[in-house]
Amino acid sequence: MTPRLLYVLHSGNLYGTERMALATLEGLGASVDPLLCAPPGPVLAEAQRRGVQSIAFANPRDLALLLRRELSTHREVSFAATAVTHSVLFAALNAIYRRRGVHIHMVHGGTDERDSYGRKKMLNHAGVRFVAVSAYVRERLVANGVRADRITVIENFLGSDDVASRPRRLPFESPGIRHVLIVSRVDPIKRVDLLLDALDRHAGPRTLDYRILGTGWDLDVLRERARTNHPQVTFAGFSDAVPDELARSDLLLHLCPVEPFGLAILEAMAAGIPVLVPDSGGAGSLVEDGVSGHRFRADDADDLARRLATFQTADADTLNRLVAGADHQLATRFSAAARIADYRRLFNGVEP
């Protein structure tokens, strides 16, 4: 009998965490009987579109009833969750039903240290294995008291069909870049202000055009600062056409020094444009400097300006080599086949 796999999300949105849950369930579909459980929201509609079985819950009581029904129906139930309370609830109920299966707690990280990492240590003695989506997330979990021997790193990925279906920039034919894209919330921790600091202090990068997609606490302040001092910087707000925007750009710039992963970086690679990221956090670990992109010293406006100048003067062959290096990373390190194989081994009780 195919084992049941319940994947419980704390959010019904359709951001990176939810998209990776859907991609994982799609990949595992042949070896498990998957059910996605989430609060009402767009992730449920997307699950239906993709043919992933899903069900909504509105509150903890709803979820408890759902879990009891599943545990009473199936003899083997594996479980994955993104919220500590949901893992605690499943562990408590399964102490009664004693169903065989693997309990995975997914950790995608976030900006709030306590909620993203600090509370996870509550699960140390609940028979739970943790999946961290980057070495940086693993580091933060250990720093916050999670048992290192219970953590497995399985990085996020893009499926081959996803990569193939995305619009892609034509290869570079002339030297240098012109159009720089930033895809980010405009919150203090994301350090979008660092770009404006670099432009304040260095004339060279001012010849480039910058387009920032995203909203957040700092949007109005930084938009006004750009309007006054740097008209080449456009704060465009929210966009639902990020793949097209990437394909029309020459470079993705990522600025957050504590990003847990940075799925937009993989999406830029799929769009055929180079990436520039800080040398810290999960984002820094995604790029091999000079091979699949470039890195700058995190929180250093002067080094950011220097690296932007490197892209401004790079010949077409150099830029195309960076794109080719990123393509190789997508086909190997960040491939769905490889990472789904890791998840399959983990749900079979084997360390990847």
CA 122, 124, 129 angle in degrees (round to 5)?
120
Residue 336: the pLDDT is 94
Mark residue 36 as left, alpha or beta (left: phi above 0; alpha: psi -120 to 50; beta: remaining). Answer: beta
- Cβ atoms within 10 A of the Cβ of 61, count? 9
Rounded CA-CA distance 295/288 in Å is: 8
pLDDT for residue 225 is more than 60: yes
In percent, the amount of the chain with pLDDT more than 70 equals 99
Q: Output the average pLDDT for the chain.
A: 95
Give this prediction's pTM: 0.93
Q: What SS3 class is residue 216?
A: coil
- CB-facing half-sphere around the CA of 195: CA atoms within 13 A: 33
Rounded CA-CA distance 22/252 in Å is: 25
pLDDT for residue 341 is more than 70: yes
Q: Encode pLDDT of 149-165 as tens digits.
A: 999 999 999 988 889 99
* Side chain identity, residue 338: A
User: Which pLDDT band, with edges at 50, 70 and 90, does 352 fall under?
Assistant: low
Residue 351: the pLDDT is 61
328, 266 contact by CB (below 8 A): no
Rounded CA-CA distance 55/41 in Å is: 11
Mean pLDDT of 168-184: 97
User: Which pLDDT band, with edges at 50, 70 and 90, does 348 fall under?
Assistant: confident
The domains found in the chain, sorted by start residue, are 4-157+335-347 (3.40.50.2000), 164-331 (3.40.50.2000)
